[in-house]
Chain A
Amino acid sequence: MRVVDFLPREHCVASLRGQGKEDILRELVETLTRSGAVKDGPGALKALMDRESLGSTGIGDGVAIPHAKLAGAETLMAAFGRSVAGVDYHAVDDKPVTWVFLLIAPEGATGQHLRALARISRMFKSEEFRRTLEGASNAEELYAMLQKEDAALP
């Protein structure tokens, strides 16, 4: 499963406006409701925030992978955004978060998406890739870079 299989271009945001965790998660959920991928926006946001309360999904190096299961979701869906200024996310390394990769999985998924998750973590572990992404001037470029990296991974 490639990342672009569940991340369409319209779910990418080049510059998140939110100042805090909940704000930016709301912005990304809005891309999902706007495209029709998610119907219950408030439900998705609540599930994501509930998960954050168990411990931040900020995995360090400016990257966060917020995620939740949602009743009514049919397949794995993602949204991706960049906060140019960085937001306080209570990440493991206390660094502000720039890159937010949001995942919504269907209820009852028994882990078929585990490889996809591994792929995303691997992608963002690369400092070189993160530096490349910084050069993107709009959502199109951001998406193209993701696409390219996705294709390059084995």
Chain B
Amino acid sequence: MGSGAGPLPISLPARLGSPPCLECGIVFPPARIKFGQDVVVIESDPSHAEAAGDTLDATIINANVVETAALRKAGLADADAFIAVTESDEVNLAACLLARKMGARRRIARVRNEDWFSPAMLDAAEMGIDTVIHPEQETVRFIERVMSLEGAFDFADLADGEVELIGFHVDPALPIVGHSMAELKEMFALGYFLIVGMYRKGEFIVPGGADKVEGGDRIWILTVKDTESMVLPVFMRRKPSGENAVIIHGATRIGLRLAGQLAAAGRRVTVIERDPELARIASESLEGATVLKFDQGEEMDMLREMRAENAGWFIAATAESKDNIVTGLLAKSAGVRRVAVITDESSYMPVMDQIGLDVVVNPYILTAGAILTSLRRGIVHSVVKLRAGEAELIEYRVAARSPIANKTLARAGLPKGALVGLVMRGGAIMIPDGAMALEEGDRALVVATPATLPVVDSLFAARGVFA
């Protein structure tokens, strides 16, 4: 954007300040990056605004985002982008209309209500919105993708969808167990996957050549799109059969959307719901899936009656994070093979696998990732958090004057705890070795722990993130 890059006003979710939302603050143009005056946050709640001021390296304006005076003060006339992510669809829409009128060059809005932008209704562009982010869509897409990858618990698209990040549980019986990264590189000669992170006994490891895979590890790999049919057999023992049944708890937007799509894909889907009204609406609107209403305290009996032990998946998708965790645990103890829970309480993350929950879905993080990806500007093109922030996977564009350019990776000064995973150069995707030197225009996928991030950022920085 050149040196004239203007401010980047953001209206953060109303709940900013409570622990889950600090995450949003961090992932919108990452707070860890010194964006100085580049980011302006407009927040209506005084206490949230104060919390934002403490945690974000940004200018915070405590005002209502649809007040023109606040928008003017935020410098909208010169803004490169305006991101409306309050909890209210209506506010986001109105704010984007105002932002266009006032001159913000790009506008991104989080909108829950998908009906608005169906073909017969509103046209996002007409409404002054360049990118509409649907949190529910992002969440459902994530769950469907993880379900399609046997043994996976995490997934993200990177590099315009050309590269995939997949997190796997390592079964102790897998042939890769006991082998070091260097050995695996030899064994899996064609290098169609690279392990970029391992989580073991409460510790996140960015693996070096001598680190070994152990049974029970959670590992993250990078792989090129469409090679997963080759990758999956490496990480699963045997494709389980006959576990077609899926139980979804919660007739929420996410629950219903997921139920509809899974049923259409041939899964046997049962939605369970406590609220009689939601259950009634669901049974009327949902095609190809069964809806069952239950009363509080009946969960366990119900799971038994449903023969939950035969189900392949239980997905806890109510609006309440804590309920989801509890019913997820009940389902696990009832014998469901894989359990996914939707929760924005990332503070529980460290204990999730110890208590047996297979997949944890955080809609805030998914939404934030989608927004950041849609910005696609400057040096940082996307950021994916591993385990809610124990490491990050960052897609950097290498600039001519980046300190890392034109030096072999072995001598580029990358700290331990950071790893260049894949490099995209022209039409090729490469797994680099120490002898490779990054060049201007390369896109590099780098995994880094929080402690190494400042160094990694400075190695890739040209002059300012949005320069």
Count of interface residues, chain A, beta-carbon cutoff 8 Å: 35
Q: Which of these, A60, A69, A113, A119, contacts B226 with CB under 8 Å?
A: A119
Q: Is the CB of A112 within 8 A of B224?
A: no
Select the stretch in A11-19, A32-40, A48-56 that faces chain B.
A48-56
Q: Which residue of B lies closest to A112 (CB)?
A: B428
**Residues of chain A with a CB closer than 8 A to B239's CB:** 60, 92-94
Q: Is the CB of A125 within 8 A of B229?
A: yes
Q: Is the CB of A110 within 8 A of B190?
A: no
Q: In A93-112, which residues have CB < 8 Å from any B CB? A: 93-94, 103, 105, 109-112
* In the assembled complex, B234 has its CB within 8 A of some CB on chain A: yes
Q: Which of these, B225, B234, B427, B429, contacts A111 with CB under 8 Å?
A: B429
| Complex alpha-carbon distance, A119 and B224, angstroms | 10
**Residues of chain A with a CB closer than 8 A to B429's CB:** 111, 114-115
Q: Is the CB of B190 within 8 A of A113?
A: yes
Q: Is the CB of A118 within 8 A of B225?
A: yes
Min CB–CB distance A148 → chain B (angstroms): 19
Q: Is the CB of B430 within 8 A of A117?
A: no
| Complex alpha-carbon distance, A67 and B188, angstroms | 9
Q: Is the CB of A121 within 8 A of B230?
A: yes
Q: In B158-214, which residues have CB < 8 Å from any A CB? A: 174-176, 186-192
* In the assembled complex, B436 has its CB within 8 A of some CB on chain A: yes
Q: Which of these, B189, B224, B232, B238, contacts A114 with CB under 8 Å?
A: B224
Q: Is the CB of B189 within 8 A of A54?
A: no
* In the assembled complex, A24 has its CB within 8 A of some CB on chain B: no
* In the assembled complex, A59 has its CB within 8 A of some CB on chain B: yes
Min CB–CB distance B158 → chain A (angstroms): 14
Q: In B338-352, which residues have CB < 8 Å from any A CB? A: none
Q: Which residue of B lies closest to A69 (CB)?
A: B189
Q: Which residue of A lies closest to B176 (CB)?
A: A54
Q: Is the CB of B176 within 8 A of A111?
A: no
Min CB–CB distance A66 → chain B (angstroms): 11
**With A54-B176, A111-B431: A121-B229 Cβ-Cβ less than 8 Å:** yes
* In the assembled complex, A122 has its CB within 8 A of some CB on chain B: yes
Q: Is the CB of B226 within 8 A of A110?
A: no
| Complex alpha-carbon distance, A95 and B431, angstroms | 32
**With A69-B190, A92-B238, A110-B430: A118-B224 Cβ-Cβ less than 8 Å:** yes
* In the assembled complex, A136 has its CB within 8 A of some CB on chain B: no
Min CB–CB distance A134 → chain B (angstroms): 19
* In the assembled complex, B432 has its CB within 8 A of some CB on chain A: yes
Q: Is the CB of A59 within 8 A of B190?
A: no
Min CB–CB distance A104 → chain B (angstroms): 9
* In the assembled complex, B47 has its CB within 8 A of some CB on chain A: no
| Residue in B226, B238, B241 whose Cβ sees the most chain A Cβ within 10 Å | B226
Q: Mark B224-247, 1 if CB is under 8 A from A, else 0.
A: 111111101110101101000000
Q: Is the CB of B227 within 8 A of A54?
A: no
| Complex alpha-carbon distance, A122 and B225, angstroms | 9
Min CB–CB distance A154 → chain B (angstroms): 11
**With A110-B432, A110-B436, A118-B227: A54-B188 Cβ-Cβ less than 8 Å:** yes
| Complex alpha-carbon distance, A53 and B179, angstroms | 14
| Complex alpha-carbon distance, A112 and B432, angstroms | 10
**Residues of chain B with a CB closer than 8 A to A110's CB:** 191, 430-433, 436
Q: In B399-449, which residues have CB < 8 Å from any A CB? A: 422, 427-433, 436
Q: Which residue of A lies closest to B150 (CB)?
A: A92
| Residue in A57, A65, A94 whose Cβ sees the most chain B Cβ within 10 Å | A65
Q: Which residue of B lies closest to A47 (CB)?
A: B189
* In the assembled complex, A62 has its CB within 8 A of some CB on chain B: no
**Residues of chain A with a CB closer than 8 A to B174's CB:** 55
| Residue in B175, B190, B192, B227 whose Cβ sees the most chain A Cβ within 10 Å | B190
**With A92-B233, A118-B224, A125-B229: A53-B427 Cβ-Cβ less than 8 Å:** no
| Complex alpha-carbon distance, A154 and B315, angstroms | 36
Q: Report 20 cross-chain contacts, Cβ distance below 8 Å, ordered by A residue.
A: A47-B189, A50-B187, A55-B233, A65-B230, A68-B189, A92-B232, A92-B239, A93-B241, A94-B238, A105-B189, A111-B192, A111-B422, A111-B430, A114-B191, A114-B192, A114-B430, A115-B428, A119-B226, A121-B228, A124-B229
**A residues whose Cβ falls under 8 Å from a Cβ of B:** 47, 50-51, 53-60, 63, 65, 67-69, 92-94, 103, 105, 109-115, 117-119, 121-122, 124-125
**B residues whose Cβ falls under 8 Å from a Cβ of A:** 174-176, 186-192, 224-230, 232-234, 236, 238-239, 241, 422, 427-433, 436
